[in-house]
Each structure stands twice: as structure tokens, then as C-alpha cells.
Amino acid sequence: MRDPVRYAMIGGGEGAFIGPVHRTAAAIAGNCRLVAGALSSDPERARRSGAACGLEEARSYASYQEMLDAERALPEGQRAEFVAIVTPNHVHAPAAIAALEAGFPVLTDKPLTDTLDAALAIAEAAARTGALVGITHTYTGYPMVKQARDLVASGDFGPVRRVAVRYTQGWLAKAEDSVGKQAEWRVDPSRSGLAGAFGDIGTHAFNLVEFITGERMTRLSAEIRAAVHGRRLDDDGAAMFHLEGGARGTLVASQICTGDSNGLEISVWCEEAGLHWRQEQPNSLRVARRGRPEEIWTPGADRSYLGATAMAATRLPSGHPEGYLEAFANIYHDFAEAVRGRVPASPSYASLEDGIAGMRFIQAAYDSSARGAEWLDLSGDMT
Amino acid sequence: MRDPVRYAMIGGGEGAFIGPVHRTAAAIAGNCRLVAGALSSDPERARRSGAACGLEEARSYASYQEMLDAERALPEGQRAEFVAIVTPNHVHAPAAIAALEAGFPVLTDKPLTDTLDAALAIAEAAARTGALVGITHTYTGYPMVKQARDLVASGDFGPVRRVAVRYTQGWLAKAEDSVGKQAEWRVDPSRSGLAGAFGDIGTHAFNLVEFITGERMTRLSAEIRAAVHGRRLDDDGAAMFHLEGGARGTLVASQICTGDSNGLEISVWCEEAGLHWRQEQPNSLRVARRGRPEEIWTPGADRSYLGATAMAATRLPSGHPEGYLEAFANIYHDFAEAVRGRVPASPSYASLEDGIAGMRFIQAAYDSSARGAEWLDLSGDMT
Amino acid sequence: MRDPVRYAMIGGGEGAFIGPVHRTAAAIAGNCRLVAGALSSDPERARRSGAACGLEEARSYASYQEMLDAERALPEGQRAEFVAIVTPNHVHAPAAIAALEAGFPVLTDKPLTDTLDAALAIAEAAARTGALVGITHTYTGYPMVKQARDLVASGDFGPVRRVAVRYTQGWLAKAEDSVGKQAEWRVDPSRSGLAGAFGDIGTHAFNLVEFITGERMTRLSAEIRAAVHGRRLDDDGAAMFHLEGGARGTLVASQICTGDSNGLEISVWCEEAGLHWRQEQPNSLRVARRGRPEEIWTPGADRSYLGATAMAATRLPSGHPEGYLEAFANIYHDFAEAVRGRVPASPSYASLEDGIAGMRFIQAAYDSSARGAEWLDLSGDMT
Amino acid sequence: MRDPVRYAMIGGGEGAFIGPVHRTAAAIAGNCRLVAGALSSDPERARRSGAACGLEEARSYASYQEMLDAERALPEGQRAEFVAIVTPNHVHAPAAIAALEAGFPVLTDKPLTDTLDAALAIAEAAARTGALVGITHTYTGYPMVKQARDLVASGDFGPVRRVAVRYTQGWLAKAEDSVGKQAEWRVDPSRSGLAGAFGDIGTHAFNLVEFITGERMTRLSAEIRAAVHGRRLDDDGAAMFHLEGGARGTLVASQICTGDSNGLEISVWCEEAGLHWRQEQPNSLRVARRGRPEEIWTPGADRSYLGATAMAATRLPSGHPEGYLEAFANIYHDFAEAVRGRVPASPSYASLEDGIAGMRFIQAAYDSSARGAEWLDLSGDMT
């Protein structure tokens, strides 16, 4: 905390869900400090929100452009060192590009943008300015997810052969659920983008597959749909897919799975062992090796069997549960370190390339579904 | 036990897995008695096996045809009242047809046959002779599976919208696993039929979906493959599917999922609640209703909240675990009752129609996969 | 089944809970056959019950004494080879002594008797006649309980240091629960003996501790009480205890734990590892070694890591759940083998010595509680 | 955060475990700010630790007395508003009394002190000065623990009849474990007080019982011991106890339970339902009502079935796990609110009275054990 990395936030004002999550995560991270914000597109709401967050009045701005201009003008030791973007999806690209062009690294919520074109425009701006971009795919911040990635990467378990991932929620199960600040923009194509559930949570599932296996998804066949009558964006879908190493997989992403809360779970079967993780019990990684009793790996500073990456993402002794906010904190921690030039070996945040892969996934799922679940390639040139 | 239903068995001699399971299940059922057998196609082995099972020497036959002829000739109060078939798949049809033509009801292991044509030939014989046919899809014998079916059927939970089923095992994960009596015929197309894992366990998953939802699967897109080099039948695959009521689903069936034992699990999401069941913890049915704490339903004679069907399938007080053999026993029990004309309202065994649906599923999965996961209809006329 | 061991049953007629459990267990065991019975002390009910069990009319007797006399008179190859006793507790001793004196080995339900004196009288008869006595402490028939015992016995985990066992049920939680055939005799001192819950289920917990640790309990301090107003026997209690090797433990036995079904669970902490088992999930043994991920051991014929004792108690491949009846079947199996002179190395049934230890436990718990939870020794000379 | 409550910290410098936990908890709470500290009794270490925590150099003090004097002299809008004490136990009382006498409310880690006399001295100082004292019994900050308390308090479940609580850890399982900053003072009577494990974690278990049941413990019989050769304080023990309403209970507290991490778990059986909670899965409260399926209650802003207290302690939507730090944050949050005069209806922190009850528990357990587990009363007059 001696010299925390200063950051500014775009979006996340009154009534937002993910804005406070980012701010608390940064507080837990211990190496970041919120110094500026354009917390709402409504100037009065932005002002009130800034005050509630403890921002100095002068650094609570009415718009992100105003903020970027003002912060850029501040002395180096005062101005924000990176910008966090927590708006609805359609604002990610303009805000990120403006920030990058103003010289600020950008940490944005997922998915990267509302459209693949917008994502590629960010990539273009990042390439031009050389500034760092990260995406907060929360779940890669969990120590046991990192451990799973390390176990696969070690090669000891042999090649990945099958993956099953699902991300099921029930909060949009009924037509009347599509109200309220959280739901409204998520079911509105002009703010969310092409995809609803597949964009909102399908990309998390997709990213988790690529993160743990260390492989890119190469092809998919998807069926997505609005199961609730009258909705304009998908709220339910599934896909079969291939990974670059030859593994096959299934992915379900749905927000109409009544009774489910935040049901992200993944199984990765390698030739010598299976790995199983559920977000709602994030401190357990089941490792099932051929011919041996199943093992339950858990985090903790006293767990000598864990790899360095998982250890670094753990802040408590074993048996003291860490949760969603701590996972998120790891993302902020690693991004702030990277902003100062200390890029972790295996960072918790998703890279720009990962984010673009996510957008290709959304686009391909949408297109495949529109063509009767035709198999489509996900590969694409990155500009 | 007063007057148990007498049955004869074809197959299931020395070294078999499923034969002893059938016989123990029948013993638990309490209303059946094994009185005759043609337990092996090898006459000497048949003799030894019959002796080991406690059969009278005269009723331990060298071939099923010999057995059917001899049993038919016995007085009504002595001869077998039904025939259980526990051979490799390719023998199901000739044995079943012979038994039906000899006037015996038939209870056969799953899948119904090795090919759809063979299944239709059984149907033809059954139609001609009017004799009952049942298939032992073990998992529909579990009380909590029956309870799940009842809960969906009640309509209180609204329409089914999504299903996820998977049946993952690891026992064929490596090339060297394809040895031994159990493995050999399962990886041999001439004895198993078109499909390997999709026939052996995929049909269980398929049947469970149809049983719990009470709906037929109408369309599917499948990818199946032999993941282990050199295998001639699929050992790994997945499908997306539609149910007749509009629900969508995913199905995984694989025998190369290292570390998994007998990992059959299913989630059925209806509009008002989700239902979740895992075969390896069969005495728990998770019921997650909208806006309520998740509930864990468990069997037991003292569970007043259970429906009549689940209660009838339970033989112990709550907290006394029942397992695979008891589920299987329920199938025998119900079939034996039906043979005596007391057909249960919701029998534990699968019907001939269910079995043919299973064969259409295998055929469609195989065809779909061969055509690049093309969507195919499962519907067909039953002769 | 070639030549099953013939047994006769005392008690367990119409309306009984444990009688049918014994008979089904014997059927699963596969090496026993019920040939005679005195299934009720009411002659007409005994007759009806015998018929329902498929007994020959001539071998369905009106009283156990009549049965013992008649069976003894039968030729060696026909007469019962052992006697199973499944009556209320107060009948165990007279029936067992009569059977022993008639030359029959005795397998009796638990607890051994209603009083310690009665237990010692059985011991005296057994010593005099040389006939085998076994007690059906069901839970020692589970493969994972046997595995736990083997792991402790191996010495690899070091000495036992602490034990926590509890057996909590809720079926007698209210005054109105003490009705019905099952409840009535269990709350009646003249039929149950000194202790209610401590006799009925506390002895199971006690026996499980001694079975897994391989050590005798040497001292205890207990508090037992009738928590439900008006009951004459304890329905709720707890104890602290010492084992002979110096370990300390706690034991809870209660039938007023509302919401619990058959909640027997035990933790045994050795110096190098902890072992944890719950009867309601009997196919999982948690093994937590110092400095290693926790392991979940499960039964199955394909589990090469299991010891011979657990393997011998398993009849299905891994992932196919076995339950209470299969555990009970292991007890019948092992006792029947022993009757034929093939005593297993680690039999599933409790020995006479174990049964007497259980009676000393009940007596000591009762006495300790009556004296304000005074610490009492459990040791005693066996006559 | 607008106007956070300023606090100062005593102890918790370099190498401490619980100091950073308090500070992170306060950061998550969002309504507190660390403004001053005397973080070590070693002045140089205090200075370094203060810098690492981001304290202004002037407010990083070399001793707590220096800090109290200096802070008291600051203007009202600047000086610390409460003092957090996170030293080894023997420093709690002198530091707390000094802080109270300087006019500061005190939030101290548990147990309240090293001796009962010291605790009564704090009570005397608090009574004299009128300043608030709170104790951080972490586990009462969990939403599901609060919900459990509310459910019992509602009366709907009837009177409490039995409690089983255990707190088992394995980190001191071997003699060589008693090294390192964390372990050393915990096994040293001059710094920990009378009791080792019973003081360190037994008091947590005790407090949890009183918190959830809303009843005081009135009597106990305990056996505590140093199981590891050469240790001077207990590392393992158990007790039987009575609650004021007539319920009976068992308590195990041990730090030699190899393989266990932070195994605090509690069952509370009321007449109409049982409640079960495990700290390592803190987001699940099992509620088992008579005659109904067991329910799993989970936190979340969208859980309309939760009471106001649990809701107020929850910061994320359901399915987003909160852990140990968030529970701790609730304690800081509530204490800071109380400092500003907004005492919550059911505060997360333990009261001074609760803390003294904890000290009486330690004293009684120690005395009981010394007298052969004699039953002792816990009641006492509070000065």
C-alpha cells in the first residue's frame, strides 16, 4: 500500500452491480487506489456516485472524455495510472480507445466489447499506442483455477481430450425478470451487442476453457435462442466445440435455468487425469487421476503441494474461504503490477488477445446458430 | 416370495458382469425365482455356470433354443414365466424373437439390440405374439429418478426448457483398457453394433432424459469418435438435441474420461424449478425452485413428501442408502408383476417403444456424426 | 449358491423392520438360504409370516423352542446350520442360549442383549457349547469402513489421537413418535433393556469406534436422558471416552435430532492422517494426510488401491453404489462362511467379545449418567 | 466511504497473521479507514510496518501508549475514532484499558484476554469510561450464521435440545509445528494465557454456540490436554455442556487433528428442525425440518427468503461466494457503525459480556479438566 497504483473508473455509479465489485476488489488487492472517476453518463449521478466513493470532488468527472483530458494534464505522480471500464458493453470500445489514445492502460470488464469490429478497433488502438489492455474475466482469478491451468500445462496429465463447461443462471428465467438496471441493458441488443447470455456469461465459460487448457477453441457449432417469449437477445444456448489440440467439448450458457445462481462449472479430462471445478465451491479442485483416489486440492498459504501461481493468488491459511471478491482482487493486483512493469508470469487478467478470441466466439456462436448450428471456424487474423 | 415368478436366463455365465447383477437384483426383488438358464453359448461353461447359480441340472441348458423348447414343454406351474436376456448386444434380437415366438415375455438388457433393424424385428415379433418386452435401463429403477419424473409430470414446475445429461466413465481411457471379457465385446462392432460408448452408455443417458421429462427426443446433432487410437467403435461423443416440447439439451457419453467411474448425471430445468440427480449419489434429488432454498429430496419409507411411485421403489427407512442393485431390483420386481398381469402405473423397466427409441437414437447419432454433425430427426414409424 | 448355508430365523415376522432386512441381506450374500423360522411369538402371525417368506409350512414354527427341537432332529444335510435372532432385545438371550444349547451357531441383531448379565449368560453358554456367536453391527459390513480399519491397522498413519462419532436420528423427536411397532418396544425398558437410544444406536457408534481403531474403549463419562417428556428410556445422550492407546473421544447418540435420518458419522484422527466416514454416503472414505490433498477413497472391483478386505466386501465396479443391504449382506456372507469353517481374516460380523463390550458400554453409560457423569472403567473380566 | 470511521491499530505488524486480516476486512467494510498504528512492540519494526500499511509517518507510533496520547491530542475530526487490538492475548487487557481510559472504543481480537481477571479489569474500565468494547469472533460475521441465529430466535423451530460443535485444526499436530511466529506465542502460557487450543479456537466454538442459540452456557465438564509431548498448553480437548434453556451439547477443540484445516462446524437441533453449518463451506446453511426435504439456504442479495440481518451482511448476488474476509468485514462494518451511534440490531461483533463469558468458559474448562472433568458452573457476576 506504500505507493499504490492510482486508477480511474468509467461507469459503475449508483445502482451498478459490477462497479462496486471492482472497487472492493481493488481495495482487497492492496496495491491500487481509486483516485478519479466518471461513474455515470448522467453528470449529476456521476457527481453523487463519486462522493459516495470518497473521490475528491475535483476528480469526479461528468464524462470520461473530460476525465481523460484532466487526468492527462496532472503531474505524473498524481494522475491515474490506468483506467478501469465498467460500463455496459457498447461503451467499452469508445471509452477504451479514448483512454488508450490518452495514454492510459485499460482494464475493462468482459466481454471486451459489444461487437467483434469494436474489439478489433481497440486492438488497433492498443497496437498504435502500445498501452496495456486487460479484461476482468473474474474466474481466472481463483487460485484453484490457476492451479488447474498449471496442472494441465505441466504435461503430467497428458493431452486434454474432452471438456464440459456450463454456466447456468436462473435470474432471467421469466419475462418479468428483464427489469431493473442489471437486467435491462443485458437484454438490449443496442447495449449488450449481438449476444445476450452467450455474451454475458458464455464468454466467461469460453475464457475459462481456454485459460485452463491453454488451448484455443478452433471450431464450434452453436444453438442459441431467446427462450423467454419476447426477448430480443439469447437467454439460453449451447455449443459443441473443438480445441486446437484435438479435444472435443460442450458448452452451455443460459440465464433461464431456474433455481441456479451462478452455476459455472467445468470438467477437463486429460489422458491421465480429470480436473473438476465449480465456481460456487471455488476453494475445491477435484483431481481424479487414473487408478488413484480422487483428490481435493484446496488453497492456503500452508499448502506445500500447490504451485507458485496458485500460492501467489492466496492470502489466507488453508480452510479460510476466499471468494469472488478475492478472485477479482487478484485480477486488479496483477494488472496494477503489470502497469508498473512487473508482469506476472501467469497473470490473472485476460489479455487483449484473449478478449478478441472471446468476441470471435460470440460472433461465431451467433452466426452458427443463425445457420442451423453450422460448424464454423473461430480462427481469425488479429490486426 | 409366496409364489415367486419363475424366470429363465440367457447369457450371464462365468466371468460376466451383468448376469450376476440381474440375478442378485431378482433376489432382492423378492418376487422372482431363477428356474432355468442357458448361461453361455459354450455348453460346458453353461453347465458349470448353471451349477454355480444353483439351477437344477436338468434346467441348465446348452443353448437358448434348447431351453425355450424344453421350458415350453413343462407344465404351466413349473415352466419359466419370462426370459431374461443378458448376452452381448448382437444376440439380443435372435434370442428375444425366439423367446417371444415360444410364448415367453422378454426382459432384456440394454440397448435393445445391436441394430435398429434388429430392434424392429423384435417389435414385429412382439406385435405378432402379444408378449411383453421390457428393457433394463437400470437407472430408471432408482426412487429419486422416479420422483423426478413425477415432479415433472405433475406440471407444477412448468414446461421443461433445458436438459444437460452426461455419462462419463474412464475405464476405456487407454488402448490397453480394451482387454478382458467386459471390454472386448464392447469395442467390437460385430457384437456391440454401430456404436460403442453411445450404445453402451449413451442409450442410458438418452433413456433417462426421456424417462424424467416424459418427452421424446425429436432431433439431434452428434459428434462421436474413437478417441483412443486403433479403436473401431466410438469411445467418446456428444450431442445437442431437441425434445418434443421445445426444450433443448446436451448429452455427453464417453468412456475415456479418466478418473470418472460411473458418472451419470442429469439436470432438467423447468420453468419453475430445476432438478438435479447424480447416479453416484443416487439417494439425493436436488430440487431448486424459483425463489426458494434448494431442497434435497431423499428416499425412505418415512418420507411423507414423496410420491407413491418413489415410495413403492423404496424398501428402507430414510438414511439407509439403497444403491444400484436395489434400483435394478425394482426393474425385476415391476416386470415380474407385469408378467402376472399387475402392470405398475409407472413401471421401472423401459418399454419396447422406449427401447426402439433408444435404437433410433444410436442410429441417428451415428449418422449425424458421419455427416459432420448434421441435424437429424429421430422420429420414425413403429411397425 | 451351489450349496448355500441353511439358516433359521427367530423373530422378524409381519410388521418388523429388521427381519426383512436380514432376509434380503442373506439373499444378496448368495451363500445362505432361509429354511426355517419362528417368526413371531404369536403362533398365527408366525404361520402367516412364514408363508409370506416362502418357508415350507412344516418348517414355519410356532415358537423358537419348537423350532430348535424340530430342526435338531432333522438330518444333517437338511437342518438349519445357524440361527438368526431378530427379536426385541430382551428375547436375544433366552433365544440365543436355547439355540446354542441345541448346538446351533447364533447370529443375533444388536445390541447383544437387554442387560449385561444376559450377555454374560450367552457367553457362558457359548463357552460351554463351543458354538459360534456373531452380532450384526451393520455398519462394519461397509467396504469403506473395513478400509478405514485396515488403514489404521497398517500403522502407516501412526497412533489414533482423537475420535468423534455421532449417531443422530430424529424419528423419536416428539412424544407422538413413540407409537408403532418399531418405536414401542424401543422405548420400553422391559423389552429394550437399560438404555434406549444408547442401546439402540449408541452401541453401533461404540462398536464402530472399536472396529475402526482396533482399540477397546477403557473409560467414559456419559450423560443420557429422556429429552421427550414422559419417556422412560433415554432418547438423547453424549459421552467423552478414552481408548486403550491413549486417544480421547466424544460420542453422541440421540433419536431426538429433528431432521436427521440415520446420521452415523465418524472421524478418527491419527498422527499422520485423519479418516472421515458418513453412513449416509457410505461409498466415500475421506483420507486427509498431513501435507497432502484430501483423498476420497471409493469401493469398486477396479480399485487397485484398496486392501483385500474392502475388495472382498465389494461386488460391483466403482461408481455403482452399494448400500445398507449390501453391507448387511457382507455380514451374513462372512458368518455363513465361518459356520462352514472358513472364518474370514477380518469378519464383517461383531464377535461375542465385541458384543459384550457393547453391553459394558451401555451399562457404564447408564451408571455414569446416574452418578452425574462420573468417569467409569469399561474393562471387565469375560467369563 | 464518504466519511469513513477512522481507526488506529495496536499490533499486527510484519509477520503477523491476523493484523493484515483486520486491515483488509476494514477495507472491504468500506466504512472504516486506518489512520494510525502502533503495529509492533519493536519500534523499528513498528515504523517499517506502518510504512508498509500506508500510514503517515507521524501516525505510525513506537508504542501504543504514545499513540493513544498523540491521537487524543488531535482535533476531533482527525483523531482515530476507535482502536483495534491485534496483539498476542496477554497484551489485550493493558492495551484495551489504556485505550478505554484515553476515551477510545476498543475492538479487540479474541479471546478477550489471557486471564479472566484481566477480562474483568477491562469490564471495569469500560464501565468507568462508558466506551464501547467489541470482540472479533470472526465467524459471527458470516451471513448464514446470522441467519441461523435468526431462525432459532424466531421461535418457529421450538427450543434448542442438542448442540454439537467442533473446531478441529491440524497445524499443531506435531512437535515440530510449534515454531514460527504464529505457533510460538500460541503455545506459550505467558502470552496465550491458561489455555492453548481451548483459548485460541475453543472460544470461537463457544461463542458460536451462544451466538446461534441465543443462550448462555451454564455448566461444563471438560478434558483438555497437551497431546504432543513437551507442550505446555493444551492442544486438544473436549467438553460436554448445558445451555440455560436445558439443551445439552458437546464441544471439541483441537489443533492436532491431522489433515484438518479450519474445521469449525456446528449442528443445532431444535424441536422442529436441525441447523447445520460448516465454516469451510460458509455459504450453505442446511435446515432440516421435521417431515420436509432438507433445505440449503444460501446468501445473496436476491434471496427473498433471508432475514434482514443476513441480507445486510451480504454484498453480492447469490452464487458469488463470500468468505472469511467478508465475514470479518461485517464485524468491522458493524463496529464502526456503532462507534458513530448506529448500533445494528444484531451486531456481528461480540459484546464485552460475550467476551467475558468466553473467558469464564476457558477458566472453567481448565479447572474442570484439572479436577478430572468435574462439572462446573459458568455463571458469574459481571463487575
CA-wise closest residue to B227 among B288, B306, B264, B173: B173
Using CA coordinates, name the residue in chain D closest to A139.
D320
Q: Cβ distance D83 to D8 under 8 Å?
A: yes
Q: Which residues contact C134 (CB under 8 A, 6 or more apart)?
A: C105, C106, C107, C108, C331, C335, C338, C347, C349, C350, C351, C352
Check if D277 contacts B (Cβ < 8 Å).
no
Task: For residue B246, give the nearest of B166, B159, B165, B164 by alpha carbon.
Answer: B159
CA B304 – CA B320 distance, rounded (Å): 16
| Minimal C-alpha gap between B272 and chain A (Å) | 6
Residues of C whose CB is below 8 A from D168: 162, 267, 269
CB of B283 within 8 Å of any CB in chain D?
no
Min Cα–Cα distance to chain B from A59, Å? 41
* C-alpha dihedral sign at C86, C92, C94, C100: positive
When scoring D201, D324, D330 by the number of chain A Cβ atoms within 10 A, the one with the most, hence best to mutate, is: D324
- pLDDT (tens digit per residue) in C313-360: 999 999 999 999 999 999 999 999 999 999 988 999 999 999 999 999
Out of A293, A298, A304, the one facing C295 most closely (by C-beta) is A293
Give chain A positions within 8 Å (CB) of C292. 295, 305
- Residue of D254, D270, D287 with shortest CB distance to C162: D254
Closest alpha carbon within chain C to D220: C373
Range scoring the smallest mean pLDDT among B228-232, B236-240, D356-360: B228-232
Query: Which residues of chain C have a CB within 8 Å of the CB of B322?
Result: 323-325
Spatial contact of A362 and A110, defined as CB atoms under 8 Å apart: no
Picking from C174, C254, C259, the nearest residue to D288 by CB comes out as C259
Are the Cβ atoms of D162 and C274 closer than 8 angstroms? Answer: no
With a cut of 50, list the residues of chain D below it in pLDDT.
1, 381-383
**Interface contact flag, C269 D250, Cβ < 8 Å:** no
The least confident of A11-15, A72-76, A361-365, C211-215 is: A11-15
Closest approach of chain A CAs to the CA of D101, in angstroms?
31
3-state class (DSSP) for residue B248: strand
pLDDT by residue for chain C (383 residues), tens only, comes to 458 999 999 999 998 889 999 999 999 999 999 999 999 999 999 999 999 888 999 999 999 999 999 999 999 999 999 999 999 999 999 999 999 999 999 999 999 999 999 999 999 999 999 999 999 999 999 999 999 999 999 999 999 999 999 999 999 999 888 777 777 777 788 887 888 999 999 999 999 999 999 999 999 999 999 999 989 999 999 999 999 999 999 999 999 999 999 999 999 999 999 999 999 999 999 999 999 999 999 999 889 999 999 999 999 999 999 999 999 999 999 999 999 999 988 999 999 999 999 999 999 999 999 999 999 999 754 33
Q: Give the minimum alpha-carbon distance from B145 to chain A in angstroms, rounded to a whole number.
A: 19
Amino acid at A84: A
* pTM for this entry: 0.96
Å between A338 CA and nearest CA of chain C: 32
Rounded Cα distance between C42 and B376, Å, is: 66
Distance in Å, alpha carbon of A67 to nearest chain D alpha carbon: 20
Q: Among residues D350, C315, A101, D111, which one has the least CA distance to residue B21?
A: C315
CB contact under 8 A, C325 and B51: no
| Grid coordinates belonging to B104 | 415367453
Q: Does C273 touch chain D (CB under 8 A)?
A: yes
Asked if D298 reaches chain B (Cβ–Cβ under 8 Å), the answer is yes
* Tens-digit pLDDT profile for residues C126-172: 999 999 999 999 999 999 999 999 999 999 999 999 999 999 999 99
Number of CB pairs < 8 Å for C and D? 131
Residue of A nearest to B251 (CA): A250
From the list A293, A298, A304, the residue facing C305 with the nearest CB is: A293
pLDDT of amino acid B382: 38
Shortest Cα distance from D26 to chain C (angstroms)? 32
Average pLDDT over residues A61-72: 97
Select the residue from D201, D280, D303, D328 to test the A interface by mutation, using most A Cβ atoms within 10 A: D280
Local structure of C346: helix, strand or coil: coil
CA dihedral of C326, C269, D136, D11, whole degrees rounded to 10: -150
Calculate the average pLDDT of chain B: 94
Distance CA D264, CA D201 (A): 9
Residue A60 DSSP symbol: B
- Inter-chain contact A162–B373, Cβ cutoff 8 Å? no
Contact D293 B305 (CB under 8 A): yes
User: Quick one: closest CA in A to D261, which residue?
Assistant: A319
| In the predicted structure, residue B278 carries a pLDDT above the cut 80 | yes
- Is the CB of residue C27 less than 8 Å away from at least one CB of chain D? no
> Given a cut of 60, is residue B84 above it in pLDDT?
yes
Contact check, Cβ <8 Å, C318/B262 = yes
Least Cα separation, residue B228 to chain D (angstroms) = 38
* C chain contacts of residue D295, beta-carbon cutoff 8 Å: none
- Residue-level pLDDT at B324: 98
CB pairs under 8 A between A and C: 30
Rounded to whole angstroms, how far apart are CA atoms C82 and C4? 12
Residue of chain C whose Cα is closest to the Cα of A304: C291
3-state secondary structure C25-65: HHHHHCCEEEEEEECCCCHHHHHHHHHHCCCCHHHECCCHH
Measure in Å the smallest separation between the Cα of C282 and chain B Cα atoms: 8
Query: Residues C137, C111: contact at Cβ < 8 Å?
Result: no
| Band of residue B2 on the pLDDT scale cut at 50, 70, 90 | low
Q: DSSP 3-state assignment of C103?
A: coil
- Is C294 near chain A, with CB under 8 Å? yes
Partner A contacted by D279 (CB < 8 A): yes
Residue C277: all three cell numbers together: 466416514
Who's near B377: CB < 8 A, 6+ residues apart?
Answer: B218, B219, B364
The pLDDT assigned to D2 comes to: 55
| pLDDT per position as a tens digit, D24-34 | 999 999 999 99
**Cβ–Cβ < 8 Å for A105, A79:** no
Residues of chain A contacting residue D280, judged by C-beta atoms under 8 Å apart: 283, 319, 321
- As a whole number of angstroms, the distance between CA D72 and CA D99 comes to 10
Q: For residues A28 and A43, what is the distance between their CA atoms, to the nearest angstrom?
A: 29
Measured distance CA(C19)–CA(C9) in Å, rounded: 8
Which pLDDT belongs to residue A380? 58
Q: Are D378 and D207 in contact (CB under 8 A)?
A: no
- Among A95-99, A368-372, B302-306, D233-237, the minimum mean pLDDT is found in B302-306
Using alpha carbons, select from B187, B278, B202, B185 the residue that is nearest to residue B237.
B202
- Of A89-98, A179-188, B60-69, the poorest mean pLDDT is in A179-188
| Residue A382 confidence (pLDDT) | 39
Mean pLDDT (chain A, rounded): 94
**Residue A114 in contact with partner chain D when CB distance is under 8 A:** no
Partners of chain D (3+ Cβ pairs below 8 A):
A, B, C
C-alpha B228/C-alpha B178 separation (Å) is 10
The ipTM estimated for the assembled molecules is 0.95
Using an 8 Å CB-CB cutoff, list chain B residues near A260.
269, 274, 288
The verdict on a CB contact (< 8 Å) between A315 and D24 is yes
**How close, in Å, is residue D326 to chain A by CA atoms?**
9
**Spatial CA neighbour of C229 closest among C252, C256, C253, C254:** C256
- For residues B5 and B340, the answer to whether their CB atoms sit within 8 Å is yes
Q: Which helix (H) or strand (E) holds D329?
A: helix D324-339
Cis preceding-peptide flag for B111 (omega within 30 of 0): yes
| C52 contacts on B by Cβ (under 8 Å) | 1-2
Tell me the β-bridge partners of B217.
Answer: B243
* Cβ partners under 8 Å of residue B33, min gap 6: B4, B5, B6, B7, B26
All three cell numbers of D241: 455442556
pLDDT value of position A302: 86
Write the residue in D257, D372, D373 that is nearest to C162 by C-beta: D257
* Interface membership of C75 toward D (CB under 8 Å): no
The Cα of B149 is separated from the nearest Cα of chain D by a number of Å equal to: 17
Residue D348 C-alpha cell reads as 456481528
Q: Is B294 part of the contact surface with chain A (CB cutoff 8 Å)?
A: yes
- Out of A287, A293, A297, closest to residue C287 by CB: A293
| D296 touches B at CB < 8 Å | yes
C-alpha–C-alpha distance, residues D42 and D67, integer Å:
14
**pLDDT digit string (tens) for D98-123?**
999 999 999 999 999 999 999 999 99
Residue B164 neighbours by CB under 8 Å, 6+ apart: A166, A252, B249, B250, B266, B267
Q: Are strands C160-168 and C217-225 parallel, antiparallel or unpaired?
A: unpaired
